[in-house]
Amino acid sequence: MEFDVIVVGSGPGGYVAAIRASQLGFNTAIVEKEELGGICLNWGCIPTKALLKSAQVFNYIKHSEDFGIEITKSNPNFDKMIKRSRNVADNMSKGIDFLMKKNKITVIKGFGKLMPNNKVEVTNEKKESNIYDAKNIIIATGAKSRVLENIKQDGEFIIGYRKAMSLKKQPKTMTIVGSGAIGVEFAYFYNSIGTEVTIIEYQGNIVPAEDKDISRQLAKDFKKSGIKILTNTGVEKVEVKNKKCKILLNNGEKIESDVVLSAVGIESNISNIGLEDVGIATDNNKIIVDEFYNTNIPGYFAIGDIIKGPALAHVASAEGITCVEKISGMDVQPINYDNIPGCTYCSPEIASVGLTEEQAKEKGYEIKVGKFPFSASGKANAAGHKEGFVKVIFDSKYGEWLGCHMIGYNVTEMVAEVVAARNLETTGHEIIKSIHPHPTMSEAIMEAVAAAYDEVIHI
């Protein structure tokens, strides 16, 4: 059977690419060995947010008296939280199945392996294989949890993010190695429902990719909630003895935990998919592509976590659309990777785009910096979420909006304003003169920009 486009992998890069290809008139197929939607929808972005919502609701209940509500008893039901999370993921996966049918996309179940001459071999659960031809093959096989030799996962005591969403029993103690988005989100969830959590971070601050002011604020809030944080600390080895994890740190200290969650990043799913057979070039476990996702072999493309760039669902989706539109002959522009927003959904939430203050200085910019604390926001006070702030960074010479970094309640819903403004090369004064509704959390963006230009009103 021959197709115009075959997409290998149905995550947020793959299924979006397939839908756009179908919209553009291509006879399209998608290959998936597990559930439609990939890791993001089934074991990442979506089910984790369901767990975090359960934690948020429980936190509201625990602090209900702050809102004038008396609740005499409440307990988290770990099993039901996990079940709800899985149900949300299952429903979303069914939604992707609906979209495939709606867009007349052929779904081929099985493991896809690339072959020369624009072919894909798909082997199903029964070990039956079929070969499919396509004029264009888009590789979107995503990533998996990175495994370190000294922290080998056994799926019971030493686990990755996938197992952290499906544990049969809530651990009393958990040590999380790594404090990126995965690490801090699970730290918030498990701490909220009563697990004693320790974070171990090799670098000098948690969420090390963020602006240092953001890192300091999150560390302050986490410590206040009872999470223990060890920075500038590495793990030498982890041993399991008597159903306990014995963790040896690089400073010679030893700690003990019921479960160790390894959250040290991800690695590309490109092993055994036929890259060598086709001759597709890689570098440092990433497929090499050009600005429109062509590999070195004509007719083969790659998007998402398997190529260089931010390993984010929305980036993969954008790459899939750009790739397909270029294949169709449309006049498209390459993605601007300097304007990609990042979101972390712990509490308080983190959202950022562009350069940090440190990065801006390293690049030689003379900068204007503005900060507005949510403690001065009427909406934040009314909502009971005064923690956090919005920080903006502008180039003093030309007024370019270099970066924006937020930490606080619901800030992940606010950052798109900044992305759009930066994309349109909006100036600080245009933001100041754009009337923001009151009372809202988003006013803090306008106020932070005003602070950068010494025009702030409410602080």
Active site (annotated) includes residue 438:
yes
Which class for 132: exposed (0-12), middle (13-18), buried (19 or more C-beta within 10 A)? buried
User: Alpha-carbon dihedral of residues 46, 50, 51, 53, nearest 10 degrees?
Assistant: 130
Q: Which of 63, 429, 438, 458 is catalytic?
A: 438
Would you tell me how many other CB atoms lie within 10 Å of the CB of residue 218? Answer: 29
Query: CA-CA distance, 102 to 91, in Å (whole number)?
Result: 16
N- to C-terminal Cα separation, the chain: 66
- Which amino acid is located at 437 in the chain? P
Helix or strand (DSSP H, E) at 456: none
Yes or no: say if 286 and 317 are a contact pair by the CB < 8 Å rule: no
What phi and psi values does residue 18 have, to the nearest 5 degrees? -65, -45
Which class for 75: exposed (0-12), middle (13-18), buried (19 or more C-beta within 10 A)? exposed
Q: Which two tokens stand for residue 12?
A: 């947020």
Strand partners, 351: 343, 406
Yes or no: say if 446 and 454 are a contact pair by the CB < 8 Å rule: no
Determine the number of helices (DSSP H) and then strands (DSSP E) in the chain: 14, 24
Instruction: Give per-residue burial for 365-385: e unless 16+ CB within 10 Å, then b.
Output: bebbbbbbbbebbebbeebeb
Query: CA-CA distance, 164 to 308, in Å (whole number)?
Result: 27
Would you tell me how many other CB atoms lie within 10 Å of the CB of residue 257? Answer: 23
Query: CA-CA distance, 102 to 99, in Å (whole number)?
Result: 5
Sheet holding 173-177, edge to edge: 158-159, 259-262, 173-177, 196-200, 228-230
Can you list the alpha helix ranges (DSSP code H) found in 238-311? 275-278
Q: Which of 324, 325, 319, 297 is nearest to 306 (CA)?
A: 319
Which class for 135: exposed (0-12), middle (13-18), buried (19 or more C-beta within 10 A)? middle
Catalytic residues: 438
